[in-house]
A = this chain, B = another copy of it.
Amino acid sequence: MTATAIADLNPSPRILLGPGPSNVHPRVLRAMATPLVGHLDPEFIEIMNETKALLQYVFQTKNSLTIPISGTGTAGMEAALYNLIEENDEVVVAVNGFFGERMCDMVHRCRGNLVKLEVPWGQVFALEQIEEILKKKVKLLAIVHAETSTGALQPVEEIAKLCHRYGVLLVLDTVTSLGGVPVEVDRWDIDACYSGTQKCLSCPPGLAPITLGPRAMEALRSRQTKVQSLYLDLTMIEKYWGQERTYHHTAPISMNYALREALRLVQEEGLEARFARHRLNHRALVAGIQAMGLEMFVPGPHRLPTMNTVKVPPGIDEARVRGILLHEFNIEIAGGLGPLKGVIWRIGLMGHSSRKENVLLLLTALEHALATQGYAVPRGAGVEAAGKVYLQG
């Protein structure tokens, strides 16, 4: 390709029901288009303070180091792990999906001693299994709250208690939960927690909210060696976001504008109402899916309302179904990752995408797409079942 004939930007109006990004509220898009101030401007420093306060609200924490990392969710994962792990530290990673595997890779890269705890993808961990391993000399346990690759929601409150009984730091991945299902950092006593902006916060991708509690801060401050990434070094970033305002990197101004506006929207809706909305749309979707004779991948009690995984029926070309949804209905859903490729669809109902009209349109479109593949559904069965859920509320 030569660079000579590149046209005006004119993307199709997608309904984003994949694993993120979710659809972005027009107010957030407008915030992104606001002219920039400098990254050390007193007005930007005020915006940083406001963003921090709003992040404390969604994380439900008073932690002072509660800020957006200037990268996507994966950068947040690296920041949490690399700042808390030093060479030869004993680290347990609980793996039940793609992002648990990714944390293992990172532990190797920062030279921690990895102990991998596994259950099959889609399942969650039992307390007993975790306690067994914490009895050994462990510094840190990393676990995914909401596995984007499987749609499973891991209960963590009791795990946190267990960790602290054994003097272990708990690092929690809340990329697909923050702002969509409860994440109560202080009440659950989570030591470090990170997320992404493009999921249930419905801000464009590009920032990774992170929060560190007192035990994690102490671990950070008592490091013997420098953090292996300067870009993600929280001992430096803390000074940029703190009183000192020491230059560390040029904050992504427009992305911070966007995050601030997305968080204001969360606050205006209120966390409880927001969680209830995500639950309701999830219940309606599941009712519709099941009425169409399809099966959910994750058993009822551990289903994530924000990321719905549906088994692909035998004989169906799942990529073709996604292609029809995208090209004929402008709807994006995702396929499975790794061992779940071809096995499941992933339907995100996150943030501004978690709306009744999206659920009803998706069920209609999916019925049509499946019919073209020879999978017959009684006409309108999905929409009718979902509609009943909405009527009952």
Q: Which residues of A contact B (CB under 8 A)?
A: 1-4, 6, 9, 11-14, 16, 18, 20-21, 23-24, 29-41, 43-44, 47, 49-50, 52-54, 56-57, 70-75, 78, 102, 105-106, 108-110, 196, 198, 204-206, 226-231, 247-255, 257-258, 260-261, 263-264, 267, 326, 332, 334, 337
Contact at B228–A109, with CB atoms within 8 Å?
Answer: yes
Contact at A252–B204, with CB atoms within 8 Å?
Answer: yes
CB-CB < 8 A to A56: which residues of B?
A: 3
Task: Please name the residue on chain B nearest to A81 by beta carbon.
Answer: B230
CB-CB < 8 A to A253: which residues of B?
A: 21, 198, 204-205
Known: A204-B253, A230-B106. A16 touches B33 (CB 8 A): no
- What are 12 A-to-B residue pairs whose CB atoms are below 8 Å? A3-B267, A6-B267, A11-B44, A11-B47, A18-B38, A23-B36, A29-B35, A71-B231, A74-B230, A198-B250, A204-B254, A205-B251
Contact at A205–B252, with CB atoms within 8 Å?
Answer: yes
Bound complex: CA A205 to CA B56 (Å): 24
Contact at B231–A228, with CB atoms within 8 Å?
Answer: no
CB-CB < 8 A to A228: which residues of B?
A: 109-110, 228-229
Bound complex: CA A14 to CA B253 (Å): 13
Contact of A231 among B1, B40, B78, B260 (CB under 8 A): B78
CB-CB < 8 A to A14: which residues of B?
A: 35-38, 41
CB-CB < 8 A to A249: which residues of B?
A: 72-75
Report the minimal beta-carbon distance from A97 to chain B, rounded to whole angstroms: 13
Bound complex: CA A43 to CA B11 (Å): 7
Report the minimal beta-carbon distance from A57 to chain B, rounded to whole angstroms: 4
CB-CB < 8 A to A31: which residues of B?
A: 9
Bound complex: CA A73 to CA B38 (Å): 15
Known: A108-B226, A250-B198, A257-B9. A35 touches B24 (CB 8 A): yes
Sample of 8 further A-B pairs with CB below 8 A, known A1-B50, A3-B57, A29-B33 = A3-B263, A9-B260, A14-B36, A102-B230, A206-B206, A228-B228, A228-B229, A252-B255
CB-CB < 8 A to A337: which residues of B?
A: 247
CB-CB < 8 A to A70: which residues of B?
A: 71-72, 75, 206
CB-CB < 8 A to A50: which residues of B?
A: 1, 3, 6
Known: A75-B71, A250-B73. A32 touches B35 (CB 8 A): no
Bound complex: CA A337 to CA B250 (Å): 14
CB-CB < 8 A to A4: which residues of B?
A: 267
7 closest pairs, A vs B, by CB?
A206-B252, A33-B33, A204-B254, A3-B53, A74-B249, A3-B57, A32-B32
Known: A1-B50, A109-B228, A205-B252. A11 touches B32 (CB 8 A): no
Contact of A36 among B24, B49, B250, B260 (CB under 8 A): B24
Task: Please name the residue on chain B nearest to A42 by beta carbon.
Answer: B326
Contact at A21–B1, with CB atoms within 8 Å?
Answer: no
Bound complex: CA A106 to CA B105 (Å): 21
CB-CB < 8 A to A110: which residues of B?
A: 228
Bound complex: CA A109 to CA B226 (Å): 7
Known: A206-B254, A250-B20, A255-B206. A264 touches B6 (CB 8 A): yes
Task: Please name the residue on chain B nearest to A261 by beta carbon.
Answer: B9
Contact at B250–A254, with CB atoms within 8 Å?
Answer: no
Bound complex: CA A37 to CA B16 (Å): 7
Known: A35-B11, A205-B39, A254-B204. A54 touches B16 (CB 8 A): no
